Structure 1
Amino acid sequence: MTSTTYTAGTLLVSSSTAKNLDFFDLRSGRKLGTITDLLAEPHEIAYDAGRRRAYIAHTYRHGVYDQDVPKSHEITVVNVDDRAVESVIDIAPYHAPHDVEYDPELDLIITGVENLAGRRGVVLINATTHEIEAGIATDARNCHWLALVPGRKVYVTHKEAPIISVIDLVGRRLEGSIEVPGGAEEIDAAPEGDFVYAVTPRMPVEVDLASGHFFRPEPQPGDPVPRIVKIDVETNAVIDEIQFGNHQMGIRAGCDGRVYASSMNNRVRPGPEADLSALPRTDGVLNILDATDMSLVGTVTVDALPMTIRVSPDNATAWVASLATGRVAVVDVAGRRRIADLDNNAGGSYGGTHGMVLVP
């Protein structure tokens, strides 16, 4: 990767399949170091600026969502300056934490867990003692993605469940829910704390891990229209939306009303005679939105199976993780072009690159 003028700092990138954590210099793209042999499977990452610590959620021992696979129950604490694992928080009897956030105002590590033995919902962890302070149950069985409004609320999507749950972090209660027919994928809060953006409905998919392909079924009459909805934090009401011709997956709200969404752009599964291992992957897409009027202002082609997105505070650069290739696409937002790639776990049929966090 060539030198450029990114914001100074470090990008942390994890692969769920390689069980690693890479540290990349944001200015040069140079890999500064790697933590290997993390617990399976590292997913999302949160950053605690005061302690200079990263928190990594581990969801499964192997496999993907909605499979009958062993569930993980840990959050790894990483010292970002030493580039080393400092400790592991065991959240049992809660299992399968997918997303994780850190609330600096309440000093809480927050994660959402799947239903196991009747326990489900959002788990609040004391960031000093690493003890579980509360478990707040949701009506939906699985909690998948989180959007944090620090000191106030966390919004939760549940994949197939047709609601977004709203958790009051101060009162430690389920505040309410927002209807999203067909369920929802990732959700994120604007840095200003006034709006939340959610991808809906859940992306229909048939996963073939052996070949590294995610296939989509043929659309059916009556299927919910793929949308990104804009939610007012004060009222919990959907106040605007943008519709798409294809399903979106990941989302990131940047500063000043800019929103970024990833589309896997999956193909329909071919007939049984097809050699899936030789089948070319379909490129993914990064969509760039102006949230003031929920309009599409640009698109950039990225690697197959894009999911997690991170963006610099000035909206100049976006980073898009590819589950398929194990790479991170570096995108010049103003130029609407992909300018470089970062190798996290390139090679193989399924790279698993997933969690990312920016460390100033």
Structure 2
Amino acid sequence: MNTGPEVRLAILNKLEDTLDFFDLQKRRFIGAIPLPPHPHELCLSPDGKTAYASIYGDGVYGNNVHPGHEVVVVDLFTMKSVGVIDTKPYSAPHSMAIHPDGSLFVSCDKSNATLVIDPSSGQIIKAIQMPSHGGHFLTMTHDGAKVYVSNKDTAFLSVIDASTRRVSGRVEVVEGSEGIALSPDGKRLYAMSHMGSPLPNKNRPTGLSFYVIDTASDAVIQQVSLPELSDKPMEVDPESRICATPDGKYLLVSAFKWDAVVIVDVATLTPIKTLMVEAEPMYIDFVPDQPDMAYVANHGAGRVSRIDLKELRVAETFPSAAPPRMGRPEDIAFYQVEG
């Protein structure tokens, strides 16, 4: 009997080098895949059948002595690794996005390059050399026309024309940038300021903030400060991320060293709530058809928090891996399997 789709949460546990699978309805772990050290980011195919896990290396940004050069391909139905894409000679693959034509865009910050890969053959179609340092995160417009790359240590975001596969422009900011995300309607790009940049900058923000960018003109409309988090030294939070809720009502900012998620009202661009989650929150994702529930990967705690966006509270927290493992998740992603 068909009981409807099974909702699974894929959890990329960076420091344990695994991709774990959690059955959301049954509230239990149902599988795990070992990965090379250390996986950082997940990217799911539009049909929800395949996941790509970037193998960044055994270090962190700015101190990645042994950078990785692989993207592991995973069958999400069988929960098994089905292939490995080698990015050599380009190293430290990190953020990824899939183009409507099926090609996979991958940032390789150690090589200052963004790769275009054919996932079916595993071949590099194009290596786009970036005019920046620290191209770590990327995101693609919903129509696949442009790719934005945030640069941790350069005061602009790079813009790639996805059709010509060339750098076509930049978005000037006053500081390096970190996590980036599009609004549901694609009209706005949100980019976190990078507070850990070692570069001197007299215009550096005094606290955590994010940029609001118009995707038609590729210009900054506004820089929004998060005053409740401004008392920490800049350099202690190099891992801030941002995302929009599926209904476009809120922005959620994960503040790594504050162990907090800040909820921002999109209409007014005003922070309305700061929720304490658990140690070192990173990526946030949403259950399909449940836009009022946000799930947060808490890297330092090895746990996942569920935020109720109707009541603006932390409703639940559970392990990111089957006990007694610690997990240490960086990225999470929901998908469905037909029952």
> TM bucket by the smaller chain?
0.7 to 0.9
Aligned residue in 1 for 2:63 = 67
Deviation at 1:240, TM superposition (A): 2.8
Deviation at 1:80, TM superposition (A): 0.3
Q: How has the CA–CA distance of structure 1 residues 70 and 350 changed in structure 2, closer, same or farther, with 3 Å as cutoff? A: farther
Aligned residue in 1 for 2:262 = 287
Aligned residue in 2 for 1:38 = 35
Aligned residue in 1 for 2:297 = 321
Bigger fraction of residues in strand = 2
Alignment pair present for 1:224 and 2:215 = no
Matched AA of 2:262? N
Question: What is the rounded CA distance, in whole Å, between the counterparts of 1:359 and 1:146 in structure 2?
Answer: 21
Q: How do residues 1-360 of structure 1 correspond to structure 2 at under 5 angstroms?
A: 9-35=7-33, 37-50=34-47, 52-60=49-57, 62-103=58-99, 105-116=100-111, 120-150=112-142, 151-200=144-193, 202-204=194-196, 223-225=204-206, 226-245=208-227, 246=229, 249-257=240-248, 258-266=250-258, 284-312=259-287, 314-345=290-321, 352-360=328-336
After superposition, what is the alpha-carbon deviation per residue over 1:93-127, rounded to whole angstroms, capped at 9, x for unaligned? 11101111222x121111101234xxx22111113
Deviation at 1:149, TM superposition (A): 0.9
SS for the counterpart of 1:204 is coil
Contact kept? 1:53, 1:80, Cα under 8 Å: yes
| Identical columns (%) | 28
SS for the counterpart of 1:99 is strand
SS for the counterpart of 1:319 is strand
After superposition, what is the alpha-carbon deviation per residue over 1:140-162, rounded to whole angstroms, capped at 9, x for unaligned? 13320112114211111121211
Contact kept? 1:321, 1:328, Cα under 8 Å: yes
Question: What is the rounded CA distance, in whole Å, between the counterparts of 1:223 and 1:352 in structure 2?
Answer: 31
Question: What is the rounded CA distance, in whole Å, between the counterparts of 2:49 and 2:335 in structure 1?
Answer: 8
Matched AA of 1:312? V
SS for the counterpart of 1:49 is coil
Unaligned runs of 5+ in 2: 230-236
After superposition, what is the alpha-carbon deviation per residue over 1:31-88, rounded to whole angstroms, capped at 9, x for unaligned? 22211x211111110111336100111101x121111510001000000000000100
Contact kept? 2:175, 2:203, Cα under 8 Å: no
After superposition, what is the alpha-carbon deviation per residue over 1:182-241, rounded to whole angstroms, capped at 9, x for unaligned? 2111001123222211101x13399xxxxxxxxxxxxx9864243111111111111233
Q: How has the CA–CA distance of structure 1 residues 85 and 349 changed in structure 2, closer, same or farther, with 3 Å as cutoff? A: closer
Contact kept? 1:45, 1:101, Cα under 8 Å: no
Unaligned runs of 5+ in 1: 1-6, 207-219, 267-283
Deviation at 1:351, TM superposition (A): 5.1
Question: What is the rounded CA distance, in whole Å, between the counterparts of 1:153 and 1:186 in structure 2?
Answer: 17
Matched AA of 1:316? D
Question: What is the rounded CA distance, in whole Å, between the counterparts of 2:163 and 2:197 in structure 1?
Answer: 37
Contact kept? 1:240, 1:294, Cα under 8 Å: no
Question: What is the rounded CA distance, in whole Å, between the counterparts of 2:197 and 2:151 in structure 1?
Answer: 16
Number of equivalences: 317
Contact kept? 1:13, 1:357, Cα under 8 Å: yes
Q: How has the CA–CA distance of structure 1 residues 31 and 350 changed in structure 2, closer, same or farther, with 3 Å as cutoff? A: closer
Contact kept? 2:153, 2:197, Cα under 8 Å: no
Aligned residue in 2 for 1:217 = none
Question: What is the rounded CA distance, in whole Å, between the counterparts of 2:324 and 2:76 in structure 1?
Answer: 28
Aligned residue in 1 for 2:233 = none
Aligned residue in 1 for 2:232 = none
Question: What is the rounded CA distance, in whole Å, between the counterparts of 1:222 and 1:231 in structure 2?
Answer: 18
Question: What is the rounded CA distance, in whole Å, between the counterparts of 2:276 and 2:325 in structure 1?
Answer: 20
Deviation at 1:350, TM superposition (A): 8.2
Aligned residue in 2 for 1:269 = none
Contact kept? 2:20, 2:321, Cα under 8 Å: no
Question: What is the rounded CA distance, in whole Å, between the counterparts of 2:88 and 2:257 in structure 1?
Answer: 36
